């Protein structure tokens, strides 16, 4: 696939690894393919949207749309407002997420945003419990019994340990 395949899209969501330079490259290649009035989103889980928007030709139409892994099980999606993101873009991102049947929340632009910082505690405690000798099935089953869609160790399996460490750095 190439950026040209995206020509005429109303929304393009970048979802590459948490690397500023790579995200900037993808933004600069894909954003020109947007339809007139379209908007661009990053699925970043940790990098500030305002910083990523510096690679954009139109920072007012640049927003964060953070889906959580595993996407098919996690209902919550963060809509991240950058310093220059306009209200129309926030509203359109919110409507898009709702149309997918997900639950959008609008959050401010800060490292880790809201949920990565709070959810990180859940995941790291699961890893700590495993290190203390509590069997993995006990950790996973208890997490789901109290209402989590997946256990903390499953989240680590899904997202990779390297990403979890990167988020905490």
Token look-up 């509590």 returns 134
> What was the pLDDT predicted at 66?
95
User: DSSP state, 121?
Assistant: H
Say whether pLDDT at 70 is over 90: no
| Residue burial 34-45, b: 16+ Cβ < 10 Å; e: rest | beeebbbbbbbb
> What was the pLDDT predicted at 158?
80
User: DSSP state, 13?
Assistant: E
> What was the pLDDT predicted at 116?
75
pTM for the whole thing?
Answer: 0.76
Ordered structural domains, the chain, with CATH? 3-108 (3.40.50.720), 115-168 (no CATH)
CB atoms under 10 Å from CB of 107, counted, come to 17
- Cis amide bond preceding 165, omega within 30: no
Quick one: tokens of 7?
A: 């020509």
Q: Do the Cβ atoms of 29 and 3 come closer than 8 Å?
A: yes
Give 5-43 pLDDT, tens digit per residue: 999 999 999 999 999 999 999 999 999 999 999 999 999
Catalytic residue among 14, 31, 36, 78: 78
Residue 78 among the catalytic residues: yes
Run of H or E residues at 21? helix 20-30
Beta bridge partners of 105: 78
């Amino acid at each position: 696939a190439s950026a040209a395949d995206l020509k005429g899209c109303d929304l393009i969501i970048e979802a590459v690894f948490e690397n500023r330079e790579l995200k900037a490259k993808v933004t600069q290649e894909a954003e020109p393919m947007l339809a007139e009035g379209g908007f661009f989103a990053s699925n970043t889980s940790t990098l500030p949207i305002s910083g990523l928007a510096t690679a954009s030709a139109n920072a007012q139409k640049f927003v964060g749309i953070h889906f959580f892994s595993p996407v098919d099980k996690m209902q919550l999606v963060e809509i991240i407002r950058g310093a220059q993101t306009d209200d129309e873009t926030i509203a359109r991102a919110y409507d898009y997420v709702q149309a997918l049947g997900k639950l959008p929340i609008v959050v401010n632009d800060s490292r880790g945003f809201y949920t990565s910082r709070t959810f990180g505690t859940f995941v790291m405690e699961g890893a700590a419990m495993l290190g203390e000798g509590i069997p993995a099935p006990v950790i996973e089953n208890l997490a789901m019994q109290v209402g989590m869609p997946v256990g903390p160790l499953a989240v680590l399996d899904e997202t990779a340990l390297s990403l979890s460490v990167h988020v905490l750095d």
